[in-house]
Structure 1
């Protein structure tokens, strides 16, 4: 009976940890959508597809094959969120990310990110946030976090590009 209880407890803990990880990735994905990171990588993906089209320009590749390559972009964006969540997890708790999301989706946060002129009230909101524990943590880890994100982004770009080229190769097209 003790073994059954131990197994059930282990399963509950594993399920709980996995659910927390899912919540964390979802929160990070919301964060990188809100703060403009995902929009930046959308342009990176578009440029990547155009570069691959140029590399394969000697082939007559039908539109439906290019559409399958383009569909890979959605998988790639989810993979990006998962990868970047590992960098965030080094420095920030789920609660920290949720506070960031609250800021980035507020009027003050959106205006800050869009580099719009801020009202006095918005400046107060931003000052209060960046003077909070989470704001201080963001400022203290900014350099290390940026380096981690750049490193992970390079890996993600290489993996995504290789996946797209592999999709073309599987269809019989090669460089």
Structure 2
């Protein structure tokens, strides 16, 4: 009986922990979408595709093959998001991420990404946020997060580029 109760308790705890991990990941993904991180990397991928087309110009790669290369974008973006979740996990609690999402959903949070878009009210709201515990964590971890994001960016972009080159090579197109 004790073994059965222990097994049920372990199963329940495992389910609860997995749900929290999934919620954390989803909230970070929402955060990095709201703050423009994912949009930035989508642009990086588009620039990489353009660069590849220039590099492979002499190979006369048909548009259908380029379309196949670009089919990997969604998977690459998902892998990037998971890598960023890992970086956030080392710096921020789930509550911190929820606080960030609340900021980005606010008018001040939306305006902070617009050039010359901040009103005095927005500036006051942002000042209040950045003086909060979460805001202090963000500013205090900037160097560490920048280092983590730099490593993630380098690793991710290298993997995506090598994957595209390998795909093209398998199709018979070489640099």
Q: Residues 163 and 22 of structure 1: is their aligned pair in 2 closer, same or farther, counting only changes over 3 Å?
A: farther
Q: Within 5 Å, which residues of 2 pair with 1:44-83?
A: 44-83=44-83
Aligned residue number for residue 93 of structure 2: 93
Q: TM-score, normalised by structure 1?
A: 0.90
- The reply on whether 1:107 has 2:120 as its aligned counterpart is no
| CA deviation profile, 1:104-157 (whole Å, cap 9, x unmatched) | 121111111223242222122111111111011111111111111111111111
Q: Within 5 Å, which residues of 2 pair with 1:1-150?
A: 1-150=1-150
Q: TM-score, normalised by structure 2?
A: 0.90
Structure 2 unmatched runs, 5+: none
Looking at structure 1, the residues matched to 151 and 23 of structure 2 have their Cα atoms a distance apart, in angstroms, of 24
- The reply on whether 1:163 has 2:160 as its aligned counterpart is no
Structure 1 unmatched runs, 5+: none
Looking at structure 1, the residues matched to 18 and 41 of structure 2 have their Cα atoms a distance apart, in angstroms, of 26
| CA deviation profile, 1:6-59 (whole Å, cap 9, x unmatched) | 333333333333322222221111111111111211111011111222222222
Q: How far 1:158 sits from its partner (Å)? A: 0.7
Matched length? 175
RMSD: 1.7
Deviates more, 1:48-57 or 1:137-146: 48-57
Looking at structure 1, the residues matched to 62 and 35 of structure 2 have their Cα atoms a distance apart, in angstroms, of 36
Looking at structure 1, the residues matched to 22 and 55 of structure 2 have their Cα atoms a distance apart, in angstroms, of 37
Looking at structure 2, the residues matched to 98 and 133 of structure 1 have their Cα atoms a distance apart, in angstroms, of 13
